[in-house]
Amino acid sequence: MTARETPEPSAPTAYDRRMYALMNRDGAGPFHATAARRKLVVGAHVALTVLMIGSWGAAQAMDRTWPLLVMIGLLLPWCLATGVLNGATHGLLELRGRMLDERQRAERDLVRARAHGITLRVLLGGALVFVVLHALGDRDVTVSLSYALVVAVIVHWLTPLWLAGLRVRDEPADD
């Protein structure tokens, strides 16, 4: 095989078929049937994520365990919202490329590229905050830096899902 030839895509595995079936179930259909509902689910997912990050930060700052219990309590609704978003996108970001058609692969690439730009802006904003804090003489920026890095990783991880959830088109109506 030469460098210009591309290998044949491998056949779907049992895992691929199970994930495809899971991501294309209609169980959560009423939750993401319209654009307004998908926006609501994305907003709820963002809010739950912010609350969980805030709970973890509060636990670190106050040296208490009750914020961690709040975070654990938010985990189930967060997982449900994640499942609804994955169902709305039909597993766009979760399925392997061999299970997606060309249109879906192009959409996934577009979502990832836009999410990358948003993540870049978040990181630049965080860097600016730390430059300002350092200039103002705040000597203990290491705690803030570790918290900001965790937030940046979470934003990097979840932004594609949020964007994909917002970009999904309504299913065509049955005749």
Q: What burial class does residue 44 get, using C-beta atoms within 10 Å of its C-beta: 0-12 exposed, 13-18 middle, 19+ buried?
A: middle
Q: What is the pTM of this model?
A: 0.83
The span from the CA of 52 to the CA of 150, in Å, is 12
The pLDDT assigned to 62 comes to 87
153-167: per-residue pLDDT in tens? 999 999 999 999 999
Q: What is the DSSP letter of 140?
A: -
The span from the CA of 58 to the CA of 64, in Å, is 8
101-142: per-residue pLDDT in tens? 899 999 999 999 999 999 999 889 888 888 887 788 766 677
